[in-house]
Structure 1
Amino acid sequence: MYAMILAAGRGERMRPLTDALPKPLLCVNDKPLISYHLDKLRDCGFKDVVINHAWLGHLLPQTLGNGDSWNLNIHYSDEGNNALETAGGIKKALSQIDSDYFMVVNGDVWTDFDFSLLPKQLPAGVLAHLVLVENPQHNPAGDFAVADGLLTTGEEQFTFSGIAVYHRDFFDGVDDGVCALGPLIRQHIEHNRVAGEVYRGQWFDIGTPQRLELLDLQLRKQNLDK
């Protein structure tokens, strides 16, 4: 199964840090955020990873190379200067994904979630499996609920972690160009095509410099405690 790391966002709320670097290359505990994902993907047995990029995107292949440092094959999907949003970026990258099922993770999150626990295929009729987390302070209302293993719009909602497995058919009908993921997920939820689970381990959405600093302090403390 292929993996895709979403790395094309501008990171407006992270400025001025992202004036010089794309957000996934910002460091926590002296290591780029995206490197944590690459380490985990290697350790979980993945071989091929697609990384999309836009703003300052040339710095990603310059920094990461072809993946040899991780024993991975890294492929790049160049969106130019203007990111295509999540669904549009995935749609564009499908030509480089040589598997029906593939996992996707946001390049600007950090988590101790074990990618090897994700399903390798999905039940008949189900086109996606999303990992949800408990609602952080910046998203108290959550995004989706889970009932009997399927995502719903129920009362107790959790936050989408940015970690998911998709079947490529999930993106059938998506036109080339800019396309957001949220409405597409909700469209498939209406037809019971989206499964999900709630993960209660560590997860950080690095959306502001303050959250970046908090994660940096936590990881440094964990290293000292080892």
Structure 2
Amino acid sequence: MSRPNVLVIDAGLGNIGSVLAALQRQDCLAERLGTPTTSQSSCDYTHVILPGVGSFAAGMQALRDSGWEGWIKEVWFEMNRPFLGICLGMQLLASEGTEGSSENSSVAGLDLIPGRVDRLNADPDLVLPHVGWNALHWHTPSGALSQGLPEGGDMYFVHSYTFQPRDPSHRLAFSDYGQQFTAVVGRDSFYGVQFHPEKSQRLGRCLLENFLALPAC
């Protein structure tokens, strides 16, 4: 079986170096691209990862300006191959988000996993952003991404906003920081994680390994 060939999207949203370093520890090929490849060349890739930090509005603007928005929603979506959004990359899969938008409004997202991204309603005594290690609880312990991961294993989070999927079945795992919040989403071949697997040591490596084991149709 050939090794996975991973495209890491670099839309200027940061966190690229640590993701590439994590992929070097996996049995895969990985390439970083700043602009979309052609439809024909896209067939060379088996998996796509979208890392990111920053605001929802700035993230979507960066995807539009670089051409990645159309490529993700049209080319990669039609190929039905595995896609993983990390941190902001997960949130951008939503239908809309409020971070970075004008008051009482929202910004349209990729709308690949219907839902909305809003600010955490954390306890007033808890600091935002939420930074640190938190337990991960799976709704589907036997799911493809959760293989080999213990219930309640800690992952590393840095965020102030949370993804609220419209369909509860798209919420694969949750964590807690003054409130329960979505930690993993999934719909068809598109997945997202709110935490940073590339910074989550052994359990993060296990999750990346599970993602890379997903078949490319």
**TM-score (structure 1 length as normaliser):** 0.29
Specify which structure has the higher proportion of helix: 1
**TM-score (structure 2 length as normaliser):** 0.30
Return the structure number with greater relative CO, CA threshold 8 A, min gap 6.
1
